[in-house]
Amino acid sequence: MVDLGGIKVFALGASREYGERVSRHLEIALSPIEERPFEDGEHKSRPLVSVRNHDVYAIQSLYSDKAESVNDKLCKLLFLIGALKDASAKRVTAVVPYLGYARKDQKTQLHDPVTTKYVAAMFEAVGTDMLMTIDVHNLAAMQNAFRKPTEHLVALDLMAETLVPMLRGQDVAIVSPDIGGAKRASRLRTILAKALNRDPTTAFVEKQRGGGVVTGGMLVGDVKGRISVIIDDLIGSGTTVRLAADACRRAGSQRILVAATHGLFIGPATTVIEDPAIEKVLVTDTVPPFRLPKALADKKLMVLDSARLFADAIYRNHANH
């Protein structure tokens, strides 16, 4: 049994409830913190307990909500990490369930920023020893951007636990909504094949993106008469999911389920989720589904607990440190 006495876990703002669940899984108390705003919009955060020579984890999920922008949350997390390092923490890990700016990981037009790289540099500048996150858009790009160690978690096993009872005894197709997610779909197919004792098929949907507009919709693979499970890393506006669901429906899919780690549900996503062709949508709790009407969320969403994945990762990292 690993002694967790050397661990301190902090959580900022809207991520405090998430941090409390991580701490409960670890069977330790969430450490207290002062978050103080100033009249001109500046702020400070500081630990209210000693962190000297401790293995410290600072939790903040980087999405915008009604109270704070992703930039506010990023800035507050960076400043807290700096304060923890100045307070002589032995090691500080940034625990970022949803890593904002991770999608802007390459130049797609002239003079484009590579924002993921700049965010990584800011984490390094305040002394972050490790970054822990789950299902980033492009793992290789994230790992190349961060020169410090990263711990990348995957939600596929968590999703499979929920999907297996819904799929047992059925013919299944695992569908990637674009070619870039084909490996993710293939990994889920492998997990489900073992759990269901039958081989799902795989398929992907042809998609193009230009000027912020998503087009396409040709499906490659066999989904006819099957339950289609559309798997992606996140749902933003829902356009990609809509194209994939339409393609599966036209190809004769019997039922359609959607699974994504991060549910942002921006703008027209509500209309997409309301589509009666989509039976259920599985997301994790890295981003609360506050943008969806409650009645729709209660009817269509299945929100999975990812806090235990982070608790397990924190336990392993502390044990091996």
Residues with a catalytic annotation lie at 207
What CA–CA distances, in Å, run from 159 to 133, 144, 224, 244? Answer: 17, 27, 23, 19
Kindly tell me the sign of the dihedral angle through the C-alpha atoms of 74, 258, 187, 182: negative
Query: How is residue 282 annotated by DSSP?
Result: E
- Coil, strand or helix at 95: strand
At 33 the three-state DSSP class reads strand
Strand, coil or helix: 159: helix
Tell me if 195 sits within 8 A of 168, measured CB to CB. Answer: no
| Nearest Cα residue to 41 out of 74, 72, 12 | 72
Query: In this structure, what are the phi and psi dihedrals at residue 313, rounded to the nearest 5 degrees?
Result: -70, -40
CB distance 289 to 283 below 8 Å: yes
